Amino acid sequence: MLIRIATAACLVLSANAAAQDANLISADAADTARELMEQGLESDTGYEIVRSLTTEVGPRLGGSEQEARARDWAVQMFTGLGFENVRIEPFEMPYWDRGDIELRVVEPFPQNLIASALGGSAATPQNGLEREIVFFESFDALRDAPDDGSLEGRIAYVNDRMISAQTGAGYGPANEKRRFAWLEAEARGAAAVIIRSVGTDSHRFPHTGMMSTPSASSVASDTHSQAVIDYLNSEHPDFNETRIWSSIPAVAVSAPDADQIERIHSSGETLTVHLSAVAGWRGMRQSGNVIAEIPGRELPDEVVLIGAHLDSWDEATGAVDDGAGVGIVTGAAHLISQLPRAPRRTIRVVLFGAEEVGLLGAFAYAQQNADEIENIVLASESDFGAGRVWSLTSGTSEEGTAFLDEAQRIIAPLGIIRGDRANRGGGPDIIPLAMQGVPVFRLTQDGTDYFDLHHTPDDTFDKIDPDELAQNVAAWAAIVWLAADSNVEFRTQDE
Sketch the per residue contact string, 17 through 36, with Zn ion: x for CB under 5 A, - otherwise. --------------------
Q: How far is the CB of 353 from Zn ion (least distance, A)?
A: 12
Q: How far is the CB of 242 from Zn ion (least distance, A)?
A: 24
Which residue number, 293 or 322, has a Cβ lying nearer to Zn ion? 322
The H or E element containing residue 379 is: strand 376-381
122/185 Cα distance (integer angstroms): 13
CA dihedral in degrees (45, 48, 53, 54; nearest 10)? 140
Applying CB under 5 A, the span of 190-198, 252-260, 319-327, 332-340 interacting with Zn ion comes to 319-327
Contact assessment for residue 252 and residue 207, using Cβ atoms and an 8 Å cutoff: yes
The H or E element containing residue 120 is: none
Contact assessment for residue 42 and residue 470, using Cβ atoms and an 8 Å cutoff: yes
Site for Zn ion in 339-368 (CB under 5 A): 356
The H or E element containing residue 130 is: strand 129-136
491/377 Cα distance (integer angstroms): 7
Nearest to residue 246, comparing CAs of 64, 128, 129, 117? 117
Measured distance between the N- and C-terminal CA atoms of the chain, rounded to whole angstroms: 39
Applying CB under 5 A, the span of 114-122, 152-160, 198-206, 321-329 interacting with Zn ion comes to 321-329
410/25 Cα distance (integer angstroms): 10
Give the amino acid at 279. Answer: A
Asked if 184 interacts with Zn ion (CB under 5 A), we say no
Which residue number, 157 or 441, has a Cβ lying nearer to Zn ion? 441
Q: How far is the CB of 111 from Zn ion (least distance, A)?
A: 30
Which residue number, 210 or 333, has a Cβ lying nearer to Zn ion? 210
Which residue number, 201 or 321, has a Cβ lying nearer to Zn ion? 321
Peptide bond into 322 cis (omega under 30): yes
Helix-helix angle 224-235:360-368, to 10 degrees = 100
| Residue among 201, 321, 381, 429 that touches Zn ion (CB under 5 A) | 321
404/394 Cα distance (integer angstroms): 8
Site for Zn ion in 380-439 (CB under 5 A): 383
Site for Zn ion in 84-123 (CB under 5 A): none
Which residue number, 320 or 342, has a Cβ lying nearer to Zn ion? 320
Q: How far is the CB of 207 from Zn ion (least distance, A)?
A: 10
CA dihedral in degrees (54, 306, 356, 354; nearest 10)? 90
Contact assessment for residue 252 and residue 197, using Cβ atoms and an 8 Å cutoff: yes
Which residue number, 186 or 322, has a Cβ lying nearer to Zn ion? 322
Q: How far is the CB of 37 from Zn ion (least distance, A)?
A: 25
Which residue number, 184 or 355, has a Cβ lying nearer to Zn ion? 355
Q: How far is the CB of 164 from Zn ion (least distance, A)?
A: 17
Site for Zn ion in 134-163 (CB under 5 A): none
- Count of residues near Zn ion by CB under 5 A: 4
Which residue number, 385 or 439, has a Cβ lying nearer to Zn ion? 385
Which residue number, 293 or 321, has a Cβ lying nearer to Zn ion? 321
- Rounded to the nearest 5°, which phi and psi values hold at 494? -85, 10
Dihedral (CA of 382, 384, 386, 389) sign: negative
Which residue number, 454 or 491, has a Cβ lying nearer to Zn ion? 454
Radius of gyration over every alpha carbon of the chain, rounded to an integer in angstroms = 24
Asked if 322 interacts with Zn ion (CB under 5 A), we say yes
Applying CB under 5 A, the span of 59-67, 119-127, 320-328, 463-471 interacting with Zn ion comes to 320-328
DSSP state of 159: -
Applying CB under 5 A, the span of 247-255, 262-270, 314-322, 462-470 interacting with Zn ion comes to 314-322
Applying CB under 5 A, the span of 200-208, 271-279, 376-384, 462-470 interacting with Zn ion comes to 376-384
Q: How far is the CB of 425 from Zn ion (least distance, A)?
A: 14
Q: How far is the CB of 356 from Zn ion (least distance, A)?
A: 5
CA 124 vs CA 98, 243, 275, 380, 424: distances in Å? 12, 11, 7, 40, 41
> Quick check: helix, strand or coil at residue 139?
helix
Q: How far is the CB of 459 from Zn ion (least distance, A)?
A: 9
Site for Zn ion, rule CB under 5 A: 321-322, 356, 383
